[in-house]
Amino acid sequence: MNKKPSLIDRLVELGRLVGELRQLETELPRLAKHATGFFAADTCSIMLFKDDDEGKLRLRLSARSHPLPLGVDPEDPNLGAGLARQVAAGREPVLIADMSKMSLPARDRPPRGSCICAPILMAGRVLGVFNLSRDSSPFTPEDLALASHITLLLGPGLELERLHKLLRSRFAHRAMATELATNPELDPPALAQDTRRMARILGRSFFRELRAAGYGADHIVTAATEVIGQLGQDIGHREDAPAAARP
């Protein structure tokens, strides 16, 4: 008879699962898939705050262990408007034994089953939400503690990965140096963590670099078109991934 893993064994296994991911944000679908087996869950999803077209931060589905139900758009701005948004606002993990008793929109409330929803925190900021659900027996307080442990690993991991990418880019170094020289009151670590502002800074620096190199407006438009084309290829590559690894 197989012995049930102890809490310490499960904590070690969780650390191994997260530690094996070399590119954390890119490999979140893999983590979500593994998490379903670890927690004996039916589904796992990971939502992160992203900028929308109006520059506002909204929860966006970044990874899911299984494809979404037919008719549900992963880019729907209302996806996650229920429990995940409440948990992000409250900054506390929750365990719900019976989802059918929750007053939530139909898209956010399975007809039955149990769920766990835990915020991903870093330095007082909410980066996203980690979700688990299953139709069989309810999750336990131990499951809730372990899910919260995952979010404790994910928060610093995601933040460090973004900072490392900036540090590896000489172009980003120059752009940050220029911005800090122009605005000495800015705090460098806070600036590096502000992904929306950094994207604008890099865009302005890219424009200035092309201008300084002697490129005209038509060439700058060509360069911008190439960036958009590369983004389209990247998105297309993700959509062509196997269904089990899709968000």
CB 62 within 8 A of CB 158: no
E strand or H helix at 115: strand 114-122
CB 18 within 8 A of CB 158: no
Quick: pLDDT tens for 1-52: 556 777 778 788 877 777 777 777 788 888 899 899 889 999 999 998 876 6
R_g (Cα) of the chain, nearest Å: 21
CB 43 within 8 A of CB 49: no
Q: pLDDT: is 247 or 151 the higher one?
A: 151
Q: What pLDDT was estimated at residue 16?
A: 78
Please report the DSSP string for 126-187 in residue order.
EEEEEEEEESSSPP-HHHHHHHHHHHHHHHHHHHHHHHHHHHT-HHHHHHHHHHHHH-TTS-
Quick: pLDDT tens for 63-86: 888 877 666 666 666 666 678 888
Which residues contact residue 173 at a Cβ distance below 8 angstroms, ignoring those fewer than 6 apart?
166, 167
Domains along the sequence of the chain with CATH? 7-165 (3.30.450.40), 167-234 (no CATH)
CB 32 within 8 A of CB 64: yes
Is residue 111 predicted with pLDDT exceeding 70? no
Q: Mean of the pLDDT values across residues 154-171?
A: 71
Q: What pLDDT was estimated at residue 103?
A: 64
Highest-pLDDT range among 14-18, 114-118, 157-161? 114-118
The fraction of the chain above a pLDDT of 90, given in percent, is 17
Least confident of 33-37, 112-116, 136-140, 178-182: 178-182
Quick: pLDDT tens for 182-232: 777 777 767 766 777 777 777 777 777 777 777 777 777 777 777 677 666
The count of residues in the chain is 247
Q: Which of 32, 86, 83, 77 lies closest to 59 in space, CA to CA?
A: 77
Q: How confident is the model at residue 234 (pLDDT cuts 50, 70, 90)?
A: low
